[in-house]
Chain A
Amino acid sequence: MTDRDGRRHLLGMADVDAADVERILDTAKSFEAVLDREVKKVPTLRGRTVMTLFFESSTRTSSSFELAAKRLSADTMSLKASGSSVDKGESLKDTVQTISAYGPDVVVIRHAGIGAPGLVTRWTDAHVINAGDGKHQHPTQCLLDLYTMREALGRLDGVQVAIVGDVLHSRVARSNIQGFRMMGAEVLLVGPKTLIPRGIEATGVRVSHDIRDIADADVVYVLRMQRERMAEGAAYVPTLQEYTARWGVTRARLRPTQLVMHPGPMNRGVEIATDVADAAQSLILRQVEAGLVTRMAVLYDLVTRPYREPAAAPVVAAVA
């Protein structure tokens, strides 16, 4: 979790290595013990300020971050795009510089623009956490998914994961491909060719367009299928019905021992059948619980390990 200036950020899964992930998941595990207590709060970040900036609507991620910060005794401020100066056309830079004047220790940002969190690091002295930038990255989702998988299976190395659906437009898929591979899991992408990014095999994943190929997976990770993909001119799939018939994750397509995950919010009856979502093999609610402790762990890790080891100085390359 690094940046050129030595401050640590979590902008994407490229900012962490396997040891970082193990440490964060272990810390999350110890927060789980804290949440079992009657007093569900620790004083770790007392006097610190965590600012959440959500330029895109999100209930679960923003509330999860806010509660995580509060459980650590941090002060929280949240700014949502609607009803703020962002609505009035203020630039991202002006917004961030304005809120930076309050001296936040951590800025959590969600933005539709790829790379927005990286830009934010230029305009604030805070640690920056990417809570989702466009189709690019959503690293805390990946960490909570890894946590959930590790809790359920006891390991990550060698786990077979099938990610099913709209990989093309999914920041969750992109972070997960990176994070799962980093931790030794095998990844298979399944979906119509229109929704699998061309060239993605080069990242070390396998690709299939046949839903039957999920049979060997330990975990079937279902992505949200968005209605916008059927918009005129987009033509990624002809109809939702066609998508569901070919790639919907249904009981008939699963073995009872396979685990099912979904980042939410779900479209029941579209990418995932209702009985699958509610089945014992579904980890979907556990993912939500994991979100809280994982985000507590990320906040804790950023603030308590503030500087990276001095090494890897940026090198200015010559042309070509």
Chain B
Amino acid sequence: MAPRLVQRLGVPAEVLVRGARLYDPAAGLDLIADLHVRGGVIAAIGGDLDAPDAEVVDADSLTVLPAFVDPHVHLRTPGQEESEDLATGTAAAAAGGYGAILAMPNTDPVLDSVPLLEALFERGAEECVVPTGFVPAISIGLTGRQLTEMYALAERGAAGFTDDGRPVESAGLLRRAFQYVGPLGLPLALHEEDMTLSRGGAMHEGVVSAELGIGGYPAIAESAMVARDLRIARYEDGRIHLQHLSTRGSLEELAWARSVGIRVSAEATPHHLLLTDEAVRSLDANLKMNPPLASEDDRLALVEALRCGLVDCVATDHAPHASDLKEQPFEQAPNGVTGLETAFAALYTGLVEPGVVSLAVIVTAMTVAPAVAFGLEPPRLAVGASANLALWDLAADWTVRSAGFRSRSANSAFLGRRLRGRCLLTIAGGRVAHRLAAVGVSA
């Protein structure tokens, strides 16, 4: 069963992108050419294309990338629409160059039943501007006691299962989940945290937490759980997706898992790849998330893991919070930062431009790898493929400001920073999902 993605109905895109660099590492494509989208499908790639009925975008010195896939987004719907809803969250995704996203189940109520999943598909088909899938809970109410009806949820199009926001504390329950979900072929996406170790912690345990007095969340709270869960997955030959890894210890466990052939995929977030616990000295709650920003040593290990493919996916863990929730003292403020609208630009600025990680690795980790991990159709720049692509100005600088977001929330860890790389146009699921006002389009 393929996961179901839903998107608002709309007019199929009719666009001729003229003279852009077309870059799709998975397809081995890197050339300057025209790209014609007709009826929402890539109809032609080549020189001097002619398309009388299409909008023509002059894309000289611009770059077309496949639209990104984010396997880890919080759309806060239902229950916390003051922070985000399906329309604003998917608009934010489109503005960040995303063409498909998967929403987490820690909503209110929790996405743990067929009626709620169907209701979300129904609403999504009216509100989502990019194709959106849903990952229901592993346990009812995320309480870690009783499994959800995984077969029924899978039949309706669930993309996998997760108790994200919380670990599956009981090893026994997690084992049952792997056993039960196995024949369905869907992954379990796991938030790795031993809560007896992280208890009272609001930031990475280290020199900075010692100085600030903020409760320390030790690195082993993640790595110990990663070690446990990989062994359970191995025992049951399960498909395991490790969410938002942040520490060197966890990566050592992941390397072992790959060496013994465990079916594992793993994500890293832009904030963990670019920021460290030093940033928390500002006491700005926009730098609070779970897992917390770790040490520079952990960050360097994570960057290297991404570079060499050990960590295969980039995910945003886009976690919007209304401003009043983040305007609280650090320990009291909720975990989470937004990320959809800054992810690629932050990585491009922080890793690609300085030559630390190649553009190919970043694009692959944001497209093919997460799509494969969750059984989605990878976006391709190829004739005949559904148009899932974004047009980028990789020379444009912009400053991240709270006023500039499509997301309903502005709790970005990158506020105030200058980033390079602006998404001008996104075509997702064959429809124009985002267009920056400044983009010159002529008919």
A-to-B contact residues, CB < 8 Å: 91-93, 111-116, 118-119, 133-137, 169-171, 174, 197-200, 202-203, 233, 316-320
Contact = CB atoms under 8 A, between A and B. Distances in A.
A199 B418 contact: no
Contacts of B206: 198-199
Given A92-B328, A113-B329, 15 more contacts: A91-B327, A93-B324, A111-B329, A114-B213, A115-B285, A115-B330, A134-B214, A134-B331, A197-B210, A197-B213, A198-B210, A199-B205, A200-B211, A316-B417, A319-B419
Interface stretch (B77-85, B91-99, B345-353, B423-431): B345-353
Which residue, A136, A174, A203, has most C-beta atoms of chain B within 10 A? Answer: A136
A135 B329 contact: no
B213 A319 contact: no
B212 to A, nearest CB: 6
Contacts of B414: 319
A135 B235 CA distance: 43
Nearest to B205: A198
B283 interface: yes
A233 B200 CA distance: 11
A198 B332 CA distance: 22
B115 interface: no
Nearest to B200: A234
Which 6 A/B pairs are nearest by Cβ-Cβ distance?
A113-B329, A135-B213, A115-B283, A197-B210, A320-B350, A319-B350
30 contacts: A92-B327, A112-B329, A113-B329, A113-B330, A113-B332, A114-B213, A114-B214, A114-B330, A115-B285, A115-B329, A118-B283, A135-B215, A136-B212, A136-B213, A136-B214, A136-B283, A174-B211, A197-B209, A197-B213, A198-B216, A199-B210, A200-B207, A202-B210, A203-B210, A316-B416, A319-B414, A319-B417, A319-B419, A320-B349, A320-B351
B199 interface: yes
Contacts of A170: 213
Nearest to B399: A316
A317 B417 contact: yes
B327 A114 contact: no
Interface in B208-251: 209-216, 218
Nearest to A92: B328
B213 A202 contact: no
B274 interface: yes
A112 B212 CA distance: 14
Contacts of B216: 197-198
A111 B283 CA distance: 14
A242 B417 CA distance: 51
Given A135-B214, A197-B210, A202-B207, A319 B327 contact: no
Interface of B: 199, 205-207, 209-216, 218, 274-275, 283, 285, 324, 327-332, 346, 349-351, 354, 399, 414, 416-419
A318 B418 contact: yes
A197 B207 CA distance: 8
Nearest to B214: A114
B327 A119 contact: yes
Contacts of A171: 213
Contacts of B328: 91-92, 113, 119
A136 B418 CA distance: 30
Majority SS at the chain B contact face: loop
B280 to A, nearest CB: 10
Mostly, the A contact residues are loop
A91 B354 CA distance: 43
A111 B332 CA distance: 11
A117 B300 CA distance: 34
Contacts of A119: 327-329
A72 B403 CA distance: 44
A134 B207 contact: no
B306 to A, nearest CB: 13
Nearest to B202: A114
Contacts of A316: 399, 416-418
Contact of B210 (A113, A114, A200): A200
B327 A93 contact: yes
A113 B328 CA distance: 8
B286 to A, nearest CB: 12
A113 B212 CA distance: 12
A304 to B, nearest CB: 28
A114 B213 CA distance: 8
A124 to B, nearest CB: 14
A174 B324 contact: no
A119 B330 CA distance: 10
A308 B271 CA distance: 34
Contacts of A198: 205-206, 210, 216, 218
A135 B275 CA distance: 24
Contacts of B215: 135
Contacts of B275: 320
Nearest to A234: B200
A310 B324 CA distance: 32
Contacts of B211: 174, 200, 203
A13 B351 CA distance: 36
A133 B329 contact: yes
A318 B417 contact: yes
Nearest to B346: A319
A136 B328 CA distance: 15
B349 to A, nearest CB: 5
Contacts of B346: 319
Contacts of A203: 207, 210-211
A107 B275 CA distance: 33
Contacts of A133: 329
A169 B329 CA distance: 17
Nearest to B323: A93
Given A116-B329, A119-B327, A202-B207, A134 B416 contact: no
